[in-house]
Amino acid sequence: MDNQQKYVADIFHFAGKWEMPSHCGIMIRRNDPAALIILTELYESNPGSSVTDMIEILAGEIVKKYNIAPETATFIVRNPERSSRYAFFAETFYRARMNWDGEKFVSLAWEKLEEFNLEMK
């Protein structure tokens, strides 16, 4: 796979906590130099760790694999709707705000996005 693709839509496999095989959906949209990375929790099919629990490590793996400058990456975590009448099962989007310290992502802060679209500014 070309690591400079403008668009990527795939399943991303990673080692979760205690090396448990895990995976999530990944979509990358590049608008050089920026990159928008959307990671989707796959509740039904993921036997391992969630994106939410592993985001800092996952983000580091993703920027390396896809050759993305860490400072230009925006990470969004999508929790898909899970067919329920309860509001906490509705689709949600969170931005994972992190700093790059030169080797890894640190200082995680979550920001719930009330509205989200794929347009890059």
Q: What is the dihedral of CA 27, 61, 69, 75, to 10 degrees?
A: 40
Q: Say which residues have a Cβ less than 8 Å from residue 85's Cβ, sequence separation at least 6.
A: none
What is the tens place of the pLDDT at every residue in 1-47?
A: 455 678 899 999 999 999 999 999 999 999 888 999 999 999 888 98
Residue 80 above 70 pLDDT? no
pLDDT of residue 66: 94
CA–CA distance, 108 with 63 (Å, rounded to integer): 16
> What is the mean pLDDT of the segment spanning 35-63?
93
CA–CA distance, 68 with 79 (Å, rounded to integer): 24
